[in-house]
Structure 1
Amino acid sequence: MACNSKEMDVSLICFFWFVIFIVDHGLCVSDCNTSTCGSYGPAVRFPFRIKGRQPLHCGYPQSEFHLSCSEKNDTVLELTTSWKLFIQKIDYKSQVIYANDPEGCLPRRLLNINVSVSPFFLKGDFAYENTLFNCSSKEGYRPIPCLSSSQYQVYAVDSDSTIDYHWLSCTKIHDISPVPYHSLYSEETILGLSWYNPKCKHCEVKGNYCRLKSNDTRSETQCYGMLKPHKGATTKFIETGVSLGSILLVVAAILLYGRCRFNKMERQYQSKIEKFLDDYKSFKPTRYSYDDIKRMTNQFKDELGQGAYGTVFRGKLSDEILVAVKVLNSSKGNGEEFINEVGTIGKIHHVNVVRLIGFCADGFRRALVYEYLPNDSLQKFISSADTKNRFLGWKRLEDIALCIAKGIEYLHQGCDQRILHFDIKPHNILLDHDFNPKISDFGLAKFCAKDQSAVSMTTARGTIGYIAPEVFSRNFGNVSYKSDVYSFGMLVLEMVGGRKIVDVAEENDQQIYFPEWIYNLLEEGEDLRFEIEEEGDTKIAKKLATVGLWCIQWNPADRPSMKVAVHMLEGEGENIPIPPNPFSSSVPTKTKKRTPGKRLLQELEVISEAE
């Protein structure tokens, strides 16, 4: 796992000079490196900065020096008059911006420009204050082309000159600030804007860079970068280096070893992912670049949520098509989660499985692009029994449970290989605009043959509360597709349990496992006391509870397949027998048939792993 000696030597030299820079300059400016909006955009550095890409301290404090990037990667300068210009070039030595007016009529824009409130002034000689007149044709005078039309002509007259009687028939339009003569009459759309402050010419001419002095409230600038260190700075470094040398060498060795190890592992993971993507070229999802992902999400502006492996943002493929973009954390996992998602969802086409539109594997940066589902996850609608405006109704809950069951059945039987999800839970069930459920998040999924009765696993995977007992310990049976059936059963019981309305205030010292309470009522033939709104709701609630209890049997062999679960949910529910008691193998819990309380995770005996 060690780096070769050449790589170590180069890294050590780089680190050494980095320490010199820190000591000599007192701060790190690596986050203020030159940036661009696109491949061919002008280089942006102090006194300018690109909003969203460079920190505030990288630019001059005045707002006009804070540039932005358009959707087409144009570099945009917005003046205080809300005049947006597309920058073509920035001449830092002359302190001039060359910008393009997208509307193509500079005189119209110059009507509203106020030089006194802008840090920029128009580049050019012979700048005069002018008055604009609307007249019929005036012989001997040149009209302003883009302000004139076939019905009238617009002329500019020096405000200091005497207006004779020939102008009495004209209508005065506007007094404008001093602007260069050619700016009014030229049909060119390129405008030159100069700035006085901050003064950086002396730095740029010498081949150095410019920045604000640290801790200077007067916004004064200083040069850095290419200047040779003066004698005092060198002496200061030597004195500091003698006292810190031994510490720095130890730190350098630790950092270099860690970095070397990390880089090698990252290269291995990246090679693994690239090999997978080469084999994946025939599949449907589109491969996007990281720039595409940033443009799609408007620079990651609208965050939808965060998970263990990454952050999800709202994005747009076009004005009509919304997407959800999951940007994976580079510090989490080793690429398995990414490969699982793309390799699994990319092969699936089912109405109840979320659609993968595309992915990004740009270096070490990875992202997944899904269809956007506006109603969030099922968890949002079953997490609180008291939020009545979020209750979907028993008929819709029944439809959702049935569609989820069909989706899982497709994963188990509808593909060339059986796909085991291993993380079925409400958070991973997303709802579209019509509340149709779609299974998502295949980061823990595994493939196996349809005739394979057991799946080998080195560690448990899933979410506590939904993980089948055999995933924890093989003493409960082999891990198989029946493990997904257990998770589905817990999900259905949670859907049912979210609507319990029995007042437990007087029995709040009793902690009852809710599924066991349900089983006791069913076994005694009593009605389930849930929030009932329409005729038939009682039958639906009882059917969902019965199916859920069948699915969470401790012995995997006693659980139905998802195909059987679908048949039970499609039926009336009256002929479904009461399942065996799924809690007989557990440590006894406090039980009271008529009063459900808080769900209590059952305690299991510590059982050694048996492979």
Structure 2
Amino acid sequence: CVYAMAMPTALKALTFLFVLAVLAPDQSEGQHHQPYCPSFSCGPFRNISSPFRQASDPPGCGYPSYELVCSDTKATIHIDNVTYHVSAINDSGSYFWLWVVDADMDLYSSCPLPRWNRPPYSFRVVNDEMEVELDPLSRRQTCFLKCSREVKDNGMYMPVACLSSNDTYVYVLTGYGSCSMEYLEPSCGYLAMTPWPCHSPSCWDYEPLENASYVDVVKSMRIGFAVQFPFRYDRMSRSIKECLILQFRFLSRFYSEDAISCVLQIIVVDGNFWRCLLDSRVGDDALSVVPFVFLSVKWLAVLCRFVLAPLAVLILLAHKYWKTRITIDAVEKFLRMQQMLGPMRYAYTDITTITSHFRDKLGQGGYGSVFKGVILPGKVHVAVKMLEGNPNCNGEDFINEVSTIGRIHHVNVVRLMGFCSEEMRRALVYEYMPQGSLDKYIFLAKKSFS
């Protein structure tokens, strides 16, 4: 784990080498012969090419479902045995589409019924790919329903009187999701549908009216609607190389220095990669075991870097804290018992007040410094010894000092009046000897006592 933390460059290099190995160019294959497909003119349109074709074009040119019938002034297309006029072709920008209008609409009476009846995303399988053809650009559709009973108390169902009879009732539903099963009454069934006129999937240019009347729907039917060029909707089988390409394209969109965001991005990218593999037939791929090995190494490094390493540091800090806590608890247990028998316990803030923030230093010893202080009320002068903290000390010396001197009450022995212990800060409060230390009298050449 420490090695994985210290070698991010090596991990990146491993990733690069793996990708380079898997994404190496395939062996060259012979190219299939492509027929010559010249562009053509059709009605008002010029330089038309794939996906469109004419009946006279050789096989392989364009799509059969996009075959146009041309005259000098008009272009038409047959969709499910219905003829539509092509009024516009858009082959630039974000969306490619052709605008179609029912060619027989003008021949209808004042009560037309749309003849479009293709389900959304009609596709055919080509080389293990789902290829969608003649799909409406708009996801919003108008639905005509035929009911055996009259629908009441439902504002979405707008009656179409001219198509209804004594025993059948026809209604039109508009708005977003109007063709969903959730809005279908038990006595009703689908009769027909028509896409809403729209130049983009969001359909902001021709927003469908909520609960529009049949007259409004007829107006939209006479305008027509857009049909998309063919497109590949999804793959039923991908190689490991293609799954990796998709993974690294997705990863290249994100950059974050935050550790949590980085891990979440890796999880999302790897999730997409595994989903791609599971949806693909990779069992026949000779390299099928490579991504499993690579991702195992990568996630081991991620686990060490973001989980195990912080956990080890946390355990070390917890151990150190616990060791200190045990020492402090032992001292605290003793002091609670001592408080009932011996000297008074002071808080550290009391010590700073007594010594006036350690202003008057009396001396320095092997165990700490001694400061002069005054205890109020009464103005009792004291000497406060601040013990120097020792990380290797378990508090036994402090306990022995307080327990021994605190119980001795003798005229010739200095009295321990109090003590302080907060975390590792400890102090002993003695009565103050105004004549100074005894040793300066004992070891003087001339002894003078007062």
TM-score by length of 2: 0.29
Going by fraction, where is strand more abundant, 1 or 2? Answer: 2
Structure ranking higher on relative contact order (CA contacts 8 Å, 6+ apart)? 2
**Structure with the greater alpha carbon radius of gyration:** 2
TM-score, normalised by the number of residues in structure 1: 0.22
